[in-house]
Structure 1
Amino acid sequence: MSESELSNADERTMNYGKEKVAVYRTYGTPLEDVRTIPESDFDGRNNILFGLELRMQVEGEEFLPSFSDGDNSMVVATDSMKNFVLHHAGEYDGATVEGFLHFVGSLFLETYSQVDAVQMSADELPFDEQPVPENDAFEASDLVFGVSHGESAFGELYLTRGDDGSAIENHRSGVTGIELVKVKDNSFVGYVDDEYTTLPERENRTLYVAMDIFWTYADSVDALGDDPQRYVPAEQVRDIVQTVFHELDVNSIQELIYQTGLRILERYPQLESVSFEANNRTWIKERDDLDGDGKVLREPPRPTGFQQFSMDRSDLDEEDTA
């Protein structure tokens, strides 16, 4: 989904904003009392270090003169937007990416009457607690963190003016940057074989998949995390896909996506839909004459395959009645 797709496609495209705003908050409000699921041991995060890279996009008919006549009298400078986000990061008392976006976006609408709508999106900048020796064992430090290069939470909200403050017109939550390798019990057979086919069937391949997963709630307020029991943490969704990958004899990435989507919808009845963007980065077999299941593999050449798929609760209902 493009950055502007949440807005009304039938209207004139007219917006501007600031992106790649990095903001860090120490000793934020912990995310606690999250409902646990069988696939994950995640039950909350301490938010000692809370980081985001944020994009803010504003819309309003009063900005037209800045485009048509060079009249900037209604324009809030994008540098001011950046400062607005950084300042109010110190006032946010919630615990989630989506909650922060809603807090700042709502304040912006309240502050600037010429803004009709604001679209806020952010990628979490994750950090890992580092293990340090403590009492003859290793424990997670609450002072020293490592920069994580793994998956991260994502949030996106499209806010307009409502009767009582801001209104969430559309939203999307997610986890991005998942990369998983399963060393065996993956096949790819039975596809179209014609004069253009050069790929051999593989009964047992090492499968390397990269994946972004997004979801929407039936009630958008649940995305904010004010009720932790109804909030879906990115960490749990990540754990679901790796659990399904472990359990399933995968015949295609498409099958992995579908079965993961069913599991997500089953675990979270508060969700309305789930969607996937996946990329096949499977290594190429160089040798398979080693003992047991051993192989030597190399990086795949470009181009690479990708998959996009969306599901809603009707897919789960069909499985239940099958």
Structure 2
Amino acid sequence: MTAQPPHSARPVMLGQNQYGKAENRVVRIVRDGDTHHIKDLNVSVALSGDMDDVHYSGSNASVLPTDTTKNTVFAFAKEHGIESAEQFGIHLARHFVTSQEPIHRARIRIEEYAWERIDTSEANSGFIGAEEVRHSFVRRGQETRLAEITYDGETWQIISGLKDLVVMNSTHSEFWGYVKDKYTTLPEAYDRILATEVSGRWRFNWNGDDQKTPHWEKSYEQVKKHMLQAFAETYSLSLQQTLYQMGARIINHRTEIDEVRFSLPNKHHFLVDLEPFGLKNDNEVYFAADRPYGLIEATILRDGTEPLIPVDLTNL
């Protein structure tokens, strides 16, 4: 029987709740002879279900310890390997929901940090040669890959994404024709730098059918390719226009994806006034302002679908 709060406190009821172990840093090395491969993940587990008793009375009878969830992450890295962040999250979410009766929903959030192999010297340089060194890596600094896997025993929601991807167009960007009032001082721009730090998420239409499981690694690579190509190839009259083209390119080229959401800060670059020094600034020298910044956010959907990605991407 589910414990109830004391009589005097009954008007105060327990709302949505979850628990788990956050930020489990797991590194998996695959040794293919002398050639090694790395998967470097930051895995957070959140579980919810029949958890009233532990809040009302302190009974832990339905509680799987968070330490156990941590151990499961590391054990699964060995038992299942890490083919992709998404697939690893699917294994974990399915396990927690199907193995523990009180747990009705599992959400797995993953950050993936990329590594690339270090180029080595020629074999005759006096050092260990390239053919002998296949185990040295440098952390790739472009972006952090993201994945969120949610499972409630019947339905799946798979969201992939990235953050901290900084991009810039040094031309082919304008901004003019906007509303002006007595507080407007911004001059119109017909040739400006367009730069942003991409935070993006995209939702798969996968329903758990193993016969139709996307190739998660290829999908990520292709989404990033189309995103960057759209950024580079759009003659931009606004960052909003560029954002829409980035999302539309993904939707149009990747049938496994129904929804894309971007949060794009406009990393402003202002021309520096060099006239006091007797110099002409012909769109060559800029001041990069880190704040304040314009923040452009939007969701792009496949026709006929509903938005499910949270509006605030910091909550994903």
Please tell me the TM-score bracket, short chain as reference: 0.7 to 0.9
Which one of the candidate residues 26, 30, 49 is aligned to 1:27?
A: 30
Asked if 1:120 is matched to 2:123, the reply is no
> Taking structure 1 as reference, are residues 135 and 246 closer, same or farther at Cα in structure 2, changes over 3 Å only?
farther
Q: 1:273 to 1:139 in 2, by over 3 A?
A: farther
Query: Where does residue 235 of structure 2 map in the other structure?
Result: 249
5 Å-filtered alignment, 1:104-253, equals 104-134=92-122, 142-162=134-154, 167-168=155-156, 170-221=157-208, 226-228=213-215, 233-253=219-239
The residue type paired with residue 180 of structure 2 is D
CA contact (8 A) 2:206 2:212 kept: no
Map 1:46-65 → 2, pairs under 5 A: 48-61=37-50, 63-65=51-53
Residue identity opposite 1:88 in structure 2: F
Residue 197 of structure 1 aligns with an amino acid whose one-letter code is T
In 1, the alpha carbon distance for the partners of 2:280 and 2:30 equals 51
- The one-letter code sitting in structure 1 at the alignment partner of 2:101 is S
* Alignment-mate amino acid for residue 26 of structure 1: I
Task: Return the alpha-carbon distance in structure 1 between the equivalents of residues 82 and 289 of structure 2.
Answer: 43
Structure 2 counterpart of 1:319: none
Following superposition, the deviation at residue 131 of structure 1 comes to 1.5
Unaligned runs of 5+ residues in structure 1 are: 1-10, 30-45, 316-322
Aligned counterpart in structure 1 of residue 291 of structure 2, from 286, 302, 312: 302
Residue 269 of structure 1 and its aligned partner are, at CA, apart by 1.9
Code of the aligned partner of 1:307: I
SS at match of 1:190: coil
Please point out which of 240, 252, 255 is paired with 1:269: 255
Q: CA deviation at 1:109?
A: 2.4
Contact 2:25/2:43, CA 8 A, preserved across alignment = yes
Does the CA-based 8 Å contact 1:99-1:224 persist in structure 2? Answer: no
| Structure 2 unmatched ranges of 5 or more | 1-13, 305-316
CA contact under 8 A between 2:263 and 2:297: conserved in structure 1?
yes
Give TM-score scaled by structure 2 length: 0.79
1:92 is matched with which residue: 80, 86, 90? 80
- More strand by percentage: 1
- CA distance, structure 2, for counterparts of residue 223 and residue 195 of structure 1: 60
The partner residue of 1:12 within 12, 15, 18 is: 15
Q: Percent identity?
A: 23
Is the 8 Å Cα contact of residues 16 and 57 (structure 1) preserved in structure 2? yes
* Range moving further from structure 2, 218-227 or 52-61: 218-227
Q: Report 1 or 2 for greater relative contact order, CA contacts < 8 Å, sequence distance ≥ 6.
A: 1
Is the alpha carbon distance of 1:287 and 1:134 closer, same or farther for their aligned partners in structure 2, counting shifts above 3 Å?
Answer: farther
- Secondary structure of the equivalent of 1:173? strand
1:21-52 residue CA offsets vs partner (Å, 9 max, x unmatched): 111111189xxxxxxxxxxxxxxxx9810011
Deviations 1:74-107 (A, max 9, x none): 2222222111111111112452111000111212
- Alpha-carbon deviation of 1:128? 1.9
The CA deviation at 1:227 is 4.7
Q: How far did residue 194 of structure 1 move?
A: 0.7
1:242-300: CA deviations, max 9, x gaps?
A: 22222222111111111111211121122212111111112222147878955212231
2:244 maps to 258
Any conservation in 1 of the 2:93–2:106 contact (CA below 8 Å)? Answer: yes
- List, as ranges, runs of 4+ consecutive aligned residues in structure 1 with deviation greater than 4 Å: 135-141, 222-227, 287-294
- Greater displacement, 204-213 / 216-225: 216-225
- Paired residue secondary structure (2:229): helix
Aligned length: 282
